[in-house]
């Protein structure tokens, strides 16, 4: 990674260790790290006792005043977004390595032991919860009167938001004799239809009402070692965009799942979109910007990190943010892909950041939650 001068794009407002016994807020000065590029930041991660590769990201309340985040120590926390003060904390047996979801006065979350539930935002009171098979490492999705959980065993579960009553489940078998990429995709709900990818290489279009499959499209090819479709689908300008680990990024017809275009890319992430541009990270430590305005993708720019796995990109105004398992948080100029700043407290990161206005809420692999100010 080429070193650049520090533009002061991000600066630390506060940070909180997310493990028991080290829960005090540590406030930082507003000045940014003076060493952009490959070096460590002046801010150092807390001394989390084990090496981690956490996936779950923070979630924000609708008014932006509270942040909800899971911890690998089995905690689910609600913190004040302004100063990092803990408002409430729940403790479970399994790690909350997932991203909470918000709807009205509820927060939905799940853990690695298969505990899924809905909790009151104000005080963490349990509204309902279930213990199901499979770990939960994704993000619940609220739609209409339901909430959806995609479990690690490729079982999509639909529950009633208010009561937690079981509506339906749709499951596909995991690939036999093949490795599975860690993680799952999250469903995309569009009115009466649901789009979701599976580890066997398929994308399914399901009925919202009963979970029955309307049509299924297999994106894998013979000989693929990893067939997983673990990215989160999105619809952009009338095209369904989804990625397969081995075969790349696809543009599909939302009604039929027929292929409109394909861009080869190994290990493609869930895409971020702004205007007519898609931003995707891949398994070669790259971020690729694709212009899809013509209906067929072409490359605008490519950023290549020297090493480390990259998270899915996140758009933050004129910036593009990506977590790195080596360099922690990389800030790119969205227009060019040039490095604007590297915030590296030392432990790396695999969880994508969450952007709320001009602030970033981000968890490092050191199990430290950061609130960062970002220049508009």
How far is it, in rounded angstroms, from Cα 259 to Cα 276?
19
The Cα-based distances of 113 to 62, 92, 132 in angstroms read: 28, 9, 8
Side-by-side strand order, sheet with 193-197: 188-190, 193-197, 202-207, 213-218
In this predicted model, what pLDDT tens digit does every residue of 159-207 receive, in sequence order?
999 999 999 999 998 766 555 556 688 999 999 999 999 998 999 999 9
The answer to whether 118 touches 149, Cβ cutoff 8 Å, is no
Res 31: pLDDT:
42
Which residues, in sequence order, are CB contacts of 8 under 8 Å at separation 6+?
A: 31, 32, 341, 375
Partners of 204 in beta bridges: 196, 216
Q: Which two tokens stand for residue 139?
A: 């993000």
**What's the CA gap between 67 and 201, in Å, rounded?**
34
Mean pLDDT of the chain: 90
Same fold for the pair 1-55+270-376 and 139-184+186-268: no
Domains of the chain, residue spans: 1-55+270-376, 139-184+186-268
Say what the pLDDT of residue 225 is. Answer: 62
- Cα–Cα distance between 55 and 325 in angstroms, integer? 11
What is residue 182's predicted lDDT score, i.e. its pLDDT?
61
Q: Which segments in the chain show pLDDT lower than 50?
A: 1-7, 29-38
CATH code, 139-184+186-268: 2.40.128.630
Q: Which residue has the tokens 């001068």?
A: 5
The sign of the torsion formed by the CA atoms of 249, 108, 13, 42 equals negative
Classify residue 285 as left (phi > 0), alpha (psi -120 to 50) or beta: left
| The predicted structure's pLDDT at residue 89 | 95
CATH number for the domain whose boundaries are 1-55+270-376: 2.130.10.10
Q: Are 69 and 84 in contact (CB under 8 A)?
A: no
CB-hemisphere CA count at 13 Å for 105? 8
Query: CA–CA separation, 367 vs 16, rounded Å?
Result: 9
The predicted pLDDT at position 4 comes to 35
pTM for this one? Answer: 0.91
Q: What's residue 224's pLDDT?
A: 60
**pLDDT for 33:** 39
């Amino acid at each position: 990674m080429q070193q650049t001068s520090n533009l002061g794009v991000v600066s630390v407002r506060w940070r909180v260790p997310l493990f028991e016994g080290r829960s005090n807020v540590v406030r930082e000065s507003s000045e940014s790290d003076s060493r952009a590029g490959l070096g460590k930041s002046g801010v150092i991660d807390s001394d989390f006792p084990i090496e981690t590769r956490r996936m779950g990201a923070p979630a924000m309340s609708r008014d932006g005043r509270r942040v909800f985040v899971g911890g690998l120590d089995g905690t689910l926390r609600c913190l004040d977004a302004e100063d990092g003060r803990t408002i409430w904390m729940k403790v479970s047996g399994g790690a909350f390595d997932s991203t909470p979801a918000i709807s009205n006065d509820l927060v939905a979350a799940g853990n690695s032991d298969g505990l899924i539930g809905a909790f009151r935002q104000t005080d963490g009171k349990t509204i309902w919860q279930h213990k199901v098979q499979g770990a939960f490492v994704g993000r619940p999705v609220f739609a209409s009167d339901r909430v959806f959980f995609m479990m690690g065993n490729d079982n999509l579960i639909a529950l009633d938001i208010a009561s937690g009553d079981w509506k339906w489940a749709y499951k596909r078998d995991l690939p036999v004799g093949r490795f599975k990429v860690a993680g799952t995709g999250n469903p995309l709900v569009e009115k009466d239809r649901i789009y979701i990818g599976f580890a066997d290489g398929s994308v399914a279009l399901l009925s919202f009402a009963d979970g029955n499959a309307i049509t299924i499209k297999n994106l894998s090819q013979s000989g693929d070692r990893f067939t997983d479709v673990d990215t989160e689908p999105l619809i952009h300008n009338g095209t369904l965009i989804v990625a397969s680990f081995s075969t790349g990024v696809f543009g599909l017809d939302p009604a039929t799942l027929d292929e409109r275009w394909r861009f080869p890319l190994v290990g493609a992430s869930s895409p971020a979109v702004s205007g007519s541009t898609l931003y995707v990270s891949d398994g070669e430590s790259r971020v690729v910007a694709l212009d899809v305005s013509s209906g067929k993708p072409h490359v605008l720019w490519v950023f290549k990190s020297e090493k480390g796995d990259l998270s899915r990109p996140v758009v933050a105004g004129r910036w593009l943010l990506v977590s790195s398992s080596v360099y922690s948080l990389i800030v790119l100029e969205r227009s060019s892909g040039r490095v604007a700043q590297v915030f590296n407290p030392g432990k790396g990161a695999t969880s994508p950041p969450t952007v709320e206005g001009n602030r970033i809420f981000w968890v490092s692999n050191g199990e430290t939650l950061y609130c960062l100010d970002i220049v508009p």
